Structure 1
Amino acid sequence: MQDKCRPNYGSCVDGRRSVPIELLDVAGLVPGAHQGKGLGNKFLDDLRHADALIHVVDASGRTNAEGENTRGYDPSQDIAWLRSEIVQWIKGNLWERWGSIKRRHTAVKATAVDTLQQQFSGYGSTSSVVARTLDKLAIKEPLETWSEETVDRVVAAFTDEKFPTVIALNKIDDSDAYTNLMKITKQQDPNLVVACSAKAELFLRKMAKQGYIRYTEGTEFVDTREDLIADGDPDGGGLKELDEKNKATIEEYRDMILFRYGSTGVVQVLSKAAEVLGLVPVFPGVYGYLKMLLLAQAKMIFYRSK
């Protein structure tokens, strides 16, 4: 397989090609971040450089909005207030200068797209992003007559267009997570919600690296020495023998995560973020190489609620 997978960019393992993306892991926020509380200003400044936002949510409900240990917290609140913080930050920056923005807009006879792009360029926006935002809203009134309510709608739509967000519901290995997972999936676009367990992924990768299991990342497939011997390989694939504790952990992850969800979800989170940006890699010839370069340039904010 390796001779069929010789990437000029990225890597190839057992015939499976991987393309790198840039991730920025930032600290969790607290409500009021747009007013400078906590690390709000730092996070919101980092957001300017992102193409997509991966919001990692504690699906177990064992951590509240302030990052304190608890039980029974509703993690759907984190999703709502994080988006609200971003919207309020952008709205605040725009609205405090709205009077002068309108006057200049009228004086130079600019289009709404041109005027808004001047204001949104600091968030990494482009004219096409602004144009798509306004097209979706289908606002007929000229910009100089917009009410604050209209500005609110524009900022909210721009936020969704500029910062598409994938919700990574982490800790699905926790007994309390399933109920929250079902609730959030109904509230949000299910195509943007991914159930995942970073804990399980870390464990499986560690075991594979140390030679105890054969693990295909992004799938449900995990083979132990005993599995391979049972399948007819007397050498067990050269894998080491697992102790009882690690055997039990693997069986637990198989039952609770891999067989139920199809994977730990970690690879799927990154793939989904690339998908919402329309970055689907295709690899034939030079066109495939160019597509890989485009994908590699995507920047994603990896944000944890807590």
Structure 2
Amino acid sequence: MASLDITLSNGLRDVRLELTLEVGSETVALVGPSGAGKSSILRAIAGLLRPDEGCIALDGTPWLDTASGVDVPPENRSVGLVFQEYALFPHLSVRANVAFGATNPSLVDEILERLRIGGLAGERPGRLSGGERQRVALARAIAREPAVLLLDEPLSALDAHTRDAVRGELRELLASLRLPTILVTHDFEDAASLADRVGVMVEGRLLQIGTASALVAAPADPFVARFTGATLLHGIAQPGRDGLTRVVLDVGGVAFTTDVGVGRVAVAVHPWEVAVSRTAPEDATVNHIEAPIDSLVTIGNRVRIRVGPLAGEITAGSAERLGLREGDTVVASFKATAARLIHLA
């Protein structure tokens, strides 16, 4: 199995990037805010940025080793790079764009057909849609027959409708290639859909890495929890009863969780774990907050709702049956098993 090993230390504008990461024949998504160092990692791997210190090696062969002076030039690194804005040559046809730098020009038409753009071979990039340009950029990267694939915000330039369709196509492509692939994005949904593992970066540090479901189930940091879409309720944890931890919330009231902890904590609750009703649950260990509805937003057959500090997502049918309106006082509840505890310093 191919393995890309990365150790980097580099000063950025406001922070220092420190990273140690191993990527096998898989897709790893790096997510986080702007300035976290995500794109700098791609540039260092591609040879477009020389870090202050570090080592980058593919299957044990170094592309970069600042200690020994190794620095393989970009054109000699087996990397396929898809830039955020695709960086296609406007004066060249689709076929010529893909053929540029291809290791085997005879395979260009096969790659175009694979990415469903064979019929656009003679077109110029300016006449293509966003989704079509994205496919051309991917085709050009693949035509290099790279050992490593790097994707910098590959879906950010697409509208919502096109993004959903292209996300599915890209997921199938990455699964079939099984190359060491690093994908940079601001969008957790993109990362969760496309990557085998997701790494959350903030201020040059990798806070947590794991499968998307693992990050949701056990966020190690408040930022990770928020990035996965959770609401955070801060409070003080103390031993409860029946094996539950009792959290006295800053906003008032008490929440119970099956997680164990004491002291200052945050309780992370994801929207799909929140139920909405007109009356409080009879089970005292089912957490609930009674408050007016601050907002209701219908998206397809789902309704996003905010009740006091809690954000929930329920079906449109449920919202209609309950006759929900903004300003109505309702009860938002979630089970103790759905409350994830994050310990705060």
Query: TM-score band (shorter)?
Result: under 0.3
More relative contact order in 1 or in 2 (CA 8 Å, sep 6+)? Answer: 1
TM-score (norm 2): 0.25
